[in-house]
Structure 1
Amino acid sequence: MTDSLDAEKLSQKVWLSDVRSTCKTVEFLDGKYKSRIQDLALQIIKMAETCEVKEAQLMGEWSGERYARFDEFEFAKDNVFNSWLGGHPEYVNGGWSLKKSSCTLAIKVVQGERVIVSDYFAVHKGAGRLVMISTDGKSVSVYEKLNNKSEWFAVGAVVLACAFVLRFCIVLI
């Protein structure tokens, strides 16, 4: 775990014990949360000003952790974005781009006749971790880089073969 991540966690724990736990009214708590959100937003903006995320770090497959916007997705060559939901394709041949000046990551997907563009602040947290924060500050998603997607496809093929051909199969991996 990096020193900066440890510092962030400690800062949050201190805020929870020294500020949040001392609130006696809903109004006071509401004000403290709004203030904390503003502080965190300023930290994000500061990180974006010194963007350390590189496209090469983003390339590859990622898996979402807790409440992530996407279950799994990939940033592929030629800025192609694909995602999977529950192991099935969710968005195929979407697009993505990284704007280094603001460290914002734009993801563009098509759903039926609708085109959806989502913008995120991208924060790379050491080897294999990515935090994507919606630019409106309403959602935070944490992802872990998958080392070998072909391994996942092989497992998926075995499971599908078991499900469709044998109707019952126990796979030990």
Structure 2
Amino acid sequence: MTDIVVVFHSGYGHTQRVAQAVADGADAQLLAIDADGNLPEGGWELLAAADAIVFGTPTYMGGASWQFKKFADASSKVWFTQGWKDKLFAGFTNSASMSGDKGTTMIGLWTLAMQHGGQWTSMGMMPSNTKAAARDDRNYVGGYGGLLTQSPSDASPAEMSQGDLDTARAFGERIAEVARSRG
């Protein structure tokens, strides 16, 4: 069995819904970063035991939330001992705008994984980018290096695009498939 952990911060609940959909697809365990940027008791041990780690954060002002950044900075203790070397990694982000500079957040997540000596998992999915595409199609936002989702600033988490949630679940399935293939 492959142990996959989705470690994420969610400010308003949207990123949590995406995290849940990824976890459902990957049969993964959720690990929430709290409002103060901390993991719950046993969180670091859970990540140490994982075969794959999926990072999730909202994009605020062109980057990860400060709570996620606090977690990333705290992971330097793990980096020092190369505790996550050769683990499989993936990532996702949500923002209110269709672009919202999510790309810079994804580069940050990828860089964090690379600094830990990890292997990155791409989307492995074509975007829905034809004239016939609709907002609820899978990968409508068009991510390749990781999952990108969008939630209008005045929408509740319950109003998220079903296409984004379906994409998140499919991404989780891909992560699980890649993790299993690594043995």
Q: Normalization by structure 2: what TM-score?
A: 0.25
Greater C-alpha Rg: 1
TM-score normalised to the size of structure 1? 0.26
Q: Larger RCO: Structure 1 or Structure 2 (Cα < 8 Å, ≥ 6 residues apart)?
A: 2
